[in-house]
Structure 1
């Protein structure tokens, strides 16, 4: 009798159909069985619900979740009640891994709060987050900064599907009269930029960046106004969003892809020569970060002008050029004083964390690098630059080595390796040092710093940057050999 009962129970288990994961989104949200009728399920129609259709792509259930301390599943079920298990899982990864990565150098409001808050009310933002997270997890697992597109891979298809859903929701949202819709568009632009960078689609990333700058309302930056204010602020959008986009645009200027930088010329310098920098004060590291970008923007325009001038041109207009150089030197000095004052204030308040110390050190390295290049920008002789400025370039690389070593040690203790940031760290400064120092030994040290840590800093990719830098070092060596 017992054997008969066990046989019956086994037969029932064998006859029971396996649970289907292919139901429509509405039935899965309601936790009812879907009849899986194509396009629109009959159960939704019969119950008076709108059928939201089916997910054309889903993640593989064979994938093991990443072993991390992350919020429990019920937390994301409450936070994102209308999202699928796959979407909540990817959002969890973004929350637990991507956000800490984006805040590797500084704690940015965009990643700490804004993006996560908007994801709860803006479907376009939520699906963009899921798309980025899905690709980034693959990138981390295979150790590749750029993922070659593989449509046969389920995760790639899932990410592209989420990306297309985000675009669809964003198109509808842009038809709204809501005055806050610009913030939604700008957040999506930033996430789309990250998504395309992970895929290695630089042209598309730049296009999203330029569209974001257009929505921001940033025309050509007024060079002289940069002595007084950051060009991204006071544009009726969230300040941190504007600053993040302008920072990426600044990076794009290095690659000749920015539409916002004024083509500086001598006439423009002479036209408004009365604009001088004023002393500044920082209430926070975020203030210092914004001020650093103001200096970077101006430095980028002025140094680009100096690059185009011959020694004879510089001699002919030395008074105008040296006056502008002096203004930038004063602005850099003001920055250094404000940074020192901020550090003292933080120490007195007992509010200086280890991460804050690292952020201050990074800002000082940026300041040191820009200062030495500003001081030498009117000198055309490689021999003179080598003789006068080698020691200062060497100190910049010393600081970069220390920052990188401590930063990587801290990140190893905190969790997985850091490969994706949207903030300038060491790559841009090291490339500038290699390009300007005229010293092979120093340039090779800077290259080793870049190669010691494969990662991305916004538009800067360490592998590509190192390859370009290697070519530049060969040119420096050839020039040195020729001079001998």
Structure 2
């Protein structure tokens, strides 16, 4: 075993004391992995040969030994010296903890191995941050067995995936220390080190599930690091691996991974930096044709599967808009694609109705059901407004914005227990709220969306609520002719009365969405409110984000009343968040 991977596996100190002189610890005869070690005359312990799995040796776990962890790279304790140290310990407990105890006898000086920096003692802790905080907070919005089960299982066996998860854990911890530049900077450097190490070890992965899992973990790391170009490389690599998968390799686990790739791909589509736009041409080459995609038409067995089908519909909607707007697709082809999208959306809604009819009534009030409804409302809002036309077309959809606000408030309230600042590696409430605050020009409804964005401190993949709030305030100031500092969203405290609105939203049956006369239970009206003039509305936002400096350069492209001109004026500004 190489010296830099040496690991000591000894029984706890209490176990040694219990044995006493003259007692020999038994070990399985003929087991090549177990090496007897004599501490003194008549006292034997058993060492388990390390399998070099980080952060915990699997052989230690299966043999029910208490593992003492990896020694630092720059140090090495010979076996006899370690035995002498253990024999002289005055602290009861596992040796690794006993050696760190302030009451323990100081161990002999360690022999330096090299001048290379040692792995931080924080690494196991950072892995635990991912395991106990990052993964649970991510799956709290939409259920998934990937982040909190499949990825963790692979991390125990694959060093590349372990380093990638430690990088994410370090970046999660860094979010809590942004007010401490030295500590947050050190954690970022630590994360970058593990990120690079994971990349260098990727060549050792020999199966498609491992490669896809690493791509997903690296996507999450690069998103939090602000390396959008690298994130796109990982996305394309994941899409390519999923596309090249042979039919015989399509296992249950692979189906989960392909759905997760699709979810992360949607996240990248929603956040497109001007210096690093989403690679639509490359991604389209790796997609199945719409008529071959069956995800949205399959019978639904779980909310995770429902989410995957809905995500696929959202992606098709965004791709259709991109192809028609940028590549000048002919109108007939566009209308055929739009018709197919609408039919598949109705099929998905019918499948959702049949799926939930088999559940208990209480199930539709749970977080997964609300999350699906939030993004379904977002999807239907896009389809109802159509993909082209003047900005005033959004004014007729007040009830959709109110529904987004109601569902988002309920979901955010349920996440309060995750801490003052939560992190999700996937999309959550920020994107629908940002979209509602941008497109809704109703004074009260828009500010309710803004208030919800301000109220809950969170980061969801590439999206951070603070940057979204800063951008929304700039948009409102440009459209309403006011100062950014004068804009504030107010929202009443969360109360049981909010559930009344939620009950009304949940009462809308899935089949009703396919009709032309759908009336959502909205309460707001325009009344005597004077709409914002078309030329004063922000039609598109171009963004260049500096994640380290927490600034964003915004270019607001205003709408135009001239049918031959897609945009009116342009306004430039810089926001700090």
After TM superposition, the structure 1 = structure 2 runs for residues 138-177 of structure 1, keeping only pairs within 5 Å, are 138-140=174-176, 142=177, 154-171=186-203, 173-174=204-205
1:120 aligns with 2:124: no
Alpha-carbon distance change, 98 to 381 in structure 1, aligned in 2, over 3 angstroms: closer
Q: CA separation in 1, counterparts of 2:291 and 2:192?
A: 51
Q: CA separation in 2, counterparts of 1:411 and 1:109?
A: 19
Q: Work out whether residues 358 and 403 of structure 1, in 8 Å CA contact, stay in contact via their aligned partners in 2.
A: no
1:449 aligns with 2:452: yes
Q: CA separation in 2, counterparts of 1:132 and 1:95?
A: 10
1:365 aligns with 2:381: no
Q: CA separation in 2, counterparts of 1:307 and 1:167?
A: 36
Which structure would you say has the larger RCO, counting Cα contacts within 8 Å and 6 or more residues apart? 1
* TM-score, length basis structure 2: 0.56
1:248 aligns with 2:264: yes
Partner of 1:91: 127
Q: CA separation in 1, counterparts of 2:316 and 2:125?
A: 43
After TM superposition, the structure 1 = structure 2 runs for residues 278-289 of structure 1, keeping only pairs within 5 Å, are 280-289=298-307
Deviation (angstroms), 1:101: 1.0
Partner of 1:331: 344
Alpha-carbon distance change, 201 to 383 in structure 1, aligned in 2, over 3 angstroms: closer
Extract unaligned runs of 5+ from structure 2: 12-38, 40-67, 83-111, 482-530, 537-577
Q: CA separation in 2, counterparts of 1:125 and 1:477?
A: 49
Q: For the pair shown, which has the larger CA radius of gyration, 1 or 2?
A: 2
* TM-score, length basis structure 1: 0.66
Q: CA separation in 2, counterparts of 1:38 and 1:379?
A: 60
Q: CA separation in 2, counterparts of 1:442 and 1:307?
A: 29
Out of 164, 168, 179, which is 1:132 matched to?
Answer: 168
Out of 403, 407, 411, which is 2:407 matched to?
Answer: 403
Deviations 1:133-185 (A, max 9, x none): 12312322x267xx97x6995544443443344334333x14xxx4x2x3222
Q: CA separation in 1, counterparts of 2:146 and 2:183?
A: 31
Alpha-carbon distance change, 483 to 159 in structure 1, aligned in 2, over 3 angstroms: closer
Partner of 1:26: 6
Partner of 2:254: 238
- Secondary structure of the structure 2 residue equivalent to 1:346: coil
Q: CA separation in 2, counterparts of 1:201 and 1:101?
A: 22
Alpha-carbon distance change, 436 to 166 in structure 1, aligned in 2, over 3 angstroms: same
Q: Work out whether residues 373 and 436 of structure 1, in 8 Å CA contact, stay in contact via their aligned partners in 2.
A: no
- Secondary structure of the structure 1 residue equivalent to 2:419: coil
Say which is worse superposed, 182-191 or 105-114, in terms of deviation. Answer: 182-191
Partner of 2:510: none
Higher strand share: 2
Deviation (angstroms), 1:46: 12
Deviation (angstroms), 1:289: 0.8
After TM superposition, the structure 1 = structure 2 runs for residues 292-331 of structure 1, keeping only pairs within 5 Å, are 292-305=310-323, 307=325, 317=331, 321-331=334-344
Q: CA separation in 1, counterparts of 2:217 and 2:407?
A: 28
Deviation (angstroms), 1:464: 2.5
Q: CA separation in 2, counterparts of 1:363 and 1:37?
A: 47
Partner of 2:102: none
Out of 331, 353, 358, which is 1:340 matched to?
Answer: 353
Partner of 1:291: 309
Alpha-carbon distance change, 258 to 37 in structure 1, aligned in 2, over 3 angstroms: closer
Out of 274, 279, 287, which is 1:258 matched to?
Answer: 279
Q: Work out whether residues 124 and 167 of structure 1, in 8 Å CA contact, stay in contact via their aligned partners in 2.
A: yes
Deviation (angstroms), 1:281: 2.5
Partner of 2:242: 216
Higher helix share: 1
Alpha-carbon distance change, 122 to 438 in structure 1, aligned in 2, over 3 angstroms: same
Q: Work out whether residues 243 and 290 of structure 1, in 8 Å CA contact, stay in contact via their aligned partners in 2.
A: yes
Q: Work out whether residues 128 and 191 of structure 1, in 8 Å CA contact, stay in contact via their aligned partners in 2.
A: yes
Q: Work out whether residues 454 and 462 of structure 1, in 8 Å CA contact, stay in contact via their aligned partners in 2.
A: yes
Deviation (angstroms), 1:111: 1.1
Partner of 1:429: 432
Q: Work out whether residues 218 and 231 of structure 2, in 8 Å CA contact, stay in contact via their aligned partners in 1.
A: yes
Extract unaligned runs of 5+ from structure 1: 1-22, 60-84, 220-232, 264-268
Q: CA separation in 2, counterparts of 1:170 and 1:275?
A: 30
RMSD (Å), alpha carbons: 4.4
Partner of 2:137: 101
Q: CA separation in 1, counterparts of 2:294 and 2:215?
A: 35
Alpha-carbon distance change, 471 to 128 in structure 1, aligned in 2, over 3 angstroms: same
